[in-house]
Chain A
């Protein structure tokens, strides 16, 4: 994406936290809907009830875990887009160090359009600032000399 957008366009990378249990809940909801459709088309009713009960139990267990504050796994959702294509990934706590290292490499390799520090100009400005500071000192000295000479 970074390579493709060198001439025009920009790249957006979004990071967001999402909980592991949230994924499960979404999955169960989708499962319910799918099963509902299956039942209408002549799916075995007993199997459907059993599956529903199992999924409800799992959902309830996850909620309990959340309430007790037990190991709720955090996931980091990373999405990237250039306006046309989207790519996304989710990171667990284990993978994040590895991903972050390779991500930093990609950024370093492609973010070379940013301006570097202009040291020469800075030196010039510093010198320009110093020169007027020196001048009044000289004047003071000369004035003091003059005053001493007049005496």
Chain B
């Protein structure tokens, strides 16, 4: 069991783990409100990847990872993750533009 410091590394390794063994790999999200802590875990019963955070900014990243795993699990391991992340990036850009106009 390893707690990752870097978010990008955690995402990369967890997607690799899922693609290597899509049937047994599961993604668990544990949220503890009273302590304000969020723990993400991806495991295939042999290897266990974990990421712990208490920052609100990581909640957005967690939503992205949720989207990635939903896409992988419903469309199969060969699904394009770039579509999911690409859409989000486009949305972010649009929202940024909107803010600029308002100002």
Contact = CB atoms under 8 A, between A and B. Distances in A.
Interface of A: 2, 5-19, 74-76, 91-93, 96, 99-100, 103-104, 107-108, 110-117
A76 B62 CA distance: 18
A21 to B, nearest CB: 12
B98 to A, nearest CB: 19
A111 to B, nearest CB: 5
Interface string B16-38: 00000011011111111111101
A10 B59 contact: no
A17 B22 contact: yes
Contacts of A116: 56-57
A74 B26 CA distance: 14
A110 B54 contact: no
A93 B79 CA distance: 11
A107 B59 contact: yes
B30 A113 contact: no
Nearest to A76: B73
Looking at chain B's contact residues, is the secondary structure mostly helix, strand, loop, or mixed? mixed
Contacts of A12: 28-30
A14 B31 contact: no
B58 interface: yes
Contact of A91 (B22, B36, B53, B74): B74
A111 B23 contact: no
Contact of A10 (B27, B33, B57, B71): B33
Contacts of A103: 66
A16 B27 contact: yes
B31 A117 contact: no
Given A5-B32, A17-B72, 4 more contacts: A6-B33, A76-B74, A104-B66, A111-B31
A93 B59 contact: no
B70 A76 contact: yes
B63 A74 contact: no
21 contacts: A2-B33, A6-B34, A7-B33, A7-B34, A10-B32, A15-B69, A76-B70, A76-B74, A93-B74, A100-B66, A100-B70, A108-B59, A111-B56, A112-B56, A113-B35, A114-B58, A114-B59, A115-B36, A115-B54, A116-B57, A117-B55
